[in-house]
Each structure stands twice: as structure tokens, then as C-alpha cells.
Structure 1
Amino acid sequence: MDEVSTNNSESLHTQEQRSGIIKTVVAIVVAIAVMLMMFIHKINSPRVLSAEELRINGLFVLDQPRILSDFELKNHRGEAFNRDSLKGKWSLVFFGFTHCPDICPTTMALLNQLLTEINGDILDQTQVVMVTADPARDSVEKLAEYVPFFNPDFIGVTGEFITLKKLGNQLNVPFVKVPQGDSYTVDHGGQVVIINPRGDYHGFLSTPLDLARMKLTYQSMVTASTCCGQ
């Protein structure tokens, strides 16, 4: 009887040892997995730059975001486009026109490339808007042909000239009609304006635009704004 009790005690002790070893191994594996996930998250997270580093690389953030006045325009689907249309996402806004021979299509293609390369979470928070600087020729129908060519999710915007001009002035983007033979062209600022998810003018990407710098600075700005509640 004593021998049976001893064997049972040894067996119970062995089981407890095995259970303890298993628990220890599981705890180690979980700890390693957590550390690995944190490492992967860190190396995949965009680097956060200082304000000076952002400026050096062409992104300028306003000291205080500028609240935009209300406006009423139309997108390339014929739907209303106003200040509320800029809320809820970061908006990359470019003023251009469909008859532009070089700068506009180059910039639109560059913005499409940017969206294919930025972090997935940041991509979900981003929309691209092309505002026409030539409403006389850029109707809703014309923008509907032009804008989706670069990306089906891009938004084209047109409307009354005076409304577009006032919006451009608020965003520090000048544009002016310039006679060219029997027709005309439009001189306009080439910077990409950044509107924050509150619908406020937040900053801009200056020219000359460069894909690598745009990706670096834009992701940094959004990451910093998200984590710091800016």
C-alpha cells in the first residue's frame, strides 16, 4: 500500500513537472511571438520626421490648420462637392486642367503611384482630388473622362469660376488664364495641398514633386497626426 502511494505521488509529481514545463514553454513562445509582432510592426511603421525634416523633404505643415469657408461645387459624377466632402479622410488636392499638356498628367500619375506604395492603413485614410482651374472647358462630363483614367477612385471637381478661384485663394494656389494663339492655357500652382480629416487646410507638398519624398513625408505626417492627436 505504501509502495502504491509512493508511485502515485511520484506520478503526480512528474505530471506537475511536465505541466510546469509546458506552461513555461508556452509562455516563452507567446513572449517571443509578441516581441516578433512588435518588431515587425515597428519596421513596417512609417518613420516619423521632425517638422524641419519634413520641410527639407518638401512637405510644409501649417503652424495652425486653416478652417476653410463653405463652398459648393460638383464632382465628376455630378454630385455635390463641398467642405463636408473633405471630412473624414486626408485629402491630397491638386489644381489642374484637362488640356494641360505635361504638369497635370504627370502629377496625376505621380499621385496614383503614391497610393500604390503607401502603408495600407494610411491608404484607407486618403483621397485624391483634382480641382479644375479651367471650368469653361472642364465640365462634369469632361472630368468624368479624364480623372478616372489615372485612378478610378480619384475625384474630379468643377463648378463656377468664382467659387473655384476663392477656393484656390484659400489654399494659396493661384491660377490665371493665359492667351495662347487662338486659344488659351492656364498657369497654376503645382503644389499638392493637404486637407486634414476635419476639412481644414493642413499643409502642402511643394514642387518639384518626388515620389520617394512624398511617400516618406506624407506617411510621417499622417502617422504623427494619428498617434499624437494633431
Structure 2
Amino acid sequence: MTMQASEKTPRQKRGIAKTVAFVVILMTVFVAGFFYKILQPRVMNAVELRANGAIVFDNPRIIEAFELSDHRGEAFTLENFKGKWSLVFFGFTHCPDICPITLAKLAQVYPKLESDIAKQTQVIMVSVDPARDTQEKLAAYVPYFHQDFIGVSGDFLQTMQLTQNLNVAFRKVVQGDDYTVDHSGNIVVINPNGHYHAFIKPPFELARLLTVYQSMVQSF
């Protein structure tokens, strides 16, 4: 005669309860893992990074020592690049378009970074117009986009030394009684060792810039 459910022994009931509990836990872990993987930021490989305008060097390049000053009047040297990831843009306060657009885009990216990446990231604008970009002008200009951004300037030779290390071109263009400065629009990426790690080419679309930068950090 078949034993009815009500006739099962306490031992059998405990066994069934354990089996059901195990299946439920297993399914919960599977579902949680599935959603965790989906919600994790996508990490691009080297080919995808290049296709999205980010050129990562196989061997990060050494940067020679330099001496500049930040918008607070404090010394800014090679040591300031060490211990953090640096997103460095070369521009100037009189720039009519690409500089404010790029800084505004970086100001959008910065708060959207994963929290652990944001803690180890600094955004820096180095002036390629040291004659006009005084400490006071940088202090009024750069933090306007984000209070944590750093403006850096110095004499022409020190600025030139840094730009040559990072393959950043700029030149003064006379316009009547005034002048402007032509310069590279790339964002330079410096790793926590203080080495020239990569550069990202414009245009800077928000989602793309966010993904390529975080991919670099997570792959380091």
C-alpha cells in the first residue's frame, strides 16, 4: 500500500524540506549571479578600446620630471600624477569651444564613475597659454566645471617639456592684435605609476567615454 503524504515519517519530511530549501537557495544564487553580471560595467578589450577612440600603449611611457603650479598656487610635479589615475586635458581659459565642451563632458563623466574608480581619479587641465593663464584665472575657470578639477600652468619651457613627453602639440596663432592657441583635443590618461598610459580621441560621447576609461582602469 502506498504511504500517504500525511503518513510520511518526520525523518522523510525533514529530508523533503532540506531538498526544497537547497533548490530554492541554488536558484536564488543563480538569479543573483545572473543579475550581478548584467549590472556590472562592461570591460572593453584592446581592439574595442581602439575602435572607440582609446589608444592604450602596450608599454606605458615614462614621463620626465617637470615643475608647474596648480590653481591653488601649490607646486604640481610628476609626483602629483602618482597614486591616482589622471585624466589630463591641455587647453586654455580663452578657448572658445573645445576646452569648455571637453571640461563640461568630463564634469558629466566624473560623478558617474564607479565609486572605487572615482576615488582614485583626478581631472586636470594643463594650460597651453601660460602667458595669460595666471593662477587667479585658472582658479576662476577650472573649478567652475567641477570643484575637484585641477588647473595647472607654468612657464613656457616647463609646459613644453610636459607636452613633448605626452606627444601633445600646440602652437600660438596670431589674430590681428590678439592670438589664440591651436592644440590637441585628446584626453591623456596617466596611470597611478605616473606613466603615460593611453589617450582618448574626441568626440567625447558620455557613455563611450565612461566605458573606455573604466575599462582601462579595470584592466590595469
The residue number in structure 2 matching 1:54 is 49
Q: Is the 1:118–1:219 contact (alpha carbons within 8 Å) kept by the matching residues of 2?
A: yes
The residue number in structure 1 matching 2:3 is none
Residue of structure 2 aligned with 1:205, choices 197, 200, 203:
200
Q: Which moved more, 1:144-153 or 1:111-120?
A: 111-120
The residue number in structure 2 matching 1:142 is 137
SS at match of 1:137: coil
Q: Take 1:116 and 1:150, find their aligned partners in 2: how far apart are those partners?
A: 12
- 1:106 pairs with 2:101: yes
Q: TM-score, normalised by structure 2?
A: 0.87
The residue number in structure 2 matching 1:166 is 161
Shift of 1:17: 6.4
The residue number in structure 2 matching 1:125 is 120
- 1:42 pairs with 2:20: no
RMSD of aligned Cα (Å): 2.1
Q: Take 1:27 and 1:52, find their aligned partners in 2: how far apart are those partners?
A: 43
Higher helix share: 1
Q: How many residues align?
A: 213
Q: Is the 1:58–1:213 contact (alpha carbons within 8 Å) kept by the matching residues of 2?
A: no
- 1:95 pairs with 2:90: yes
Kindly provide the CA deviation profile for residues 170-219 of structure 1, in whole angstroms up to 9, marking residues without a partner as x.
11111111111211111110000000111100010012322232122112
Percent identity (aligned): 56
Alignment-mate amino acid for residue 112 of structure 1 = A
The residue number in structure 2 matching 1:3 is none
Q: Take 1:152 and 1:29, find their aligned partners in 2: how far apart are those partners?
A: 49
Structure 2: state its 5+ residue gaps: 1-8
Q: Which moved more, 1:19-28 or 1:162-171?
A: 19-28
SS at match of 1:199: coil
Alignment-mate amino acid for residue 169 of structure 1 = Q
Structure 1: state its 5+ residue gaps: 1-12, 226-230
Alignment-mate amino acid for residue 168 of structure 2 = V
Q: Take 2:71 and 2:24, find their aligned partners in 1: how far apart are those partners?
A: 54
Task: Tell me: CA distance 1:28–1:83, structure 2 relative to 1, closer, same or farther (3 Å).
Answer: farther
Kindly provide the CA deviation profile for residues 21-76 of structure 1, in whole angstroms up to 9, marking residues without a partner as x.
66656655554444344333312222222212111110000121001111111111
Alignment-mate amino acid for residue 175 of structure 2 = Q
The residue number in structure 2 matching 1:80 is 75
Q: Take 1:135 and 1:60, find their aligned partners in 2: how far apart are those partners?
A: 28
Q: TM-score, normalised by structure 1?
A: 0.84
Of structures 1 and 2, the larger Rg is shown by 1
Alignment-mate amino acid for residue 157 of structure 2 = I
Residue of structure 2 aligned with 1:193, choices 184, 188, 201:
188
Task: Tell me: CA distance 1:20–1:220, structure 2 relative to 1, closer, same or farther (3 Å).
Answer: same
Task: Tell me: CA distance 1:177–1:44, structure 2 relative to 1, closer, same or farther (3 Å).
Answer: same
SS at match of 1:184: strand
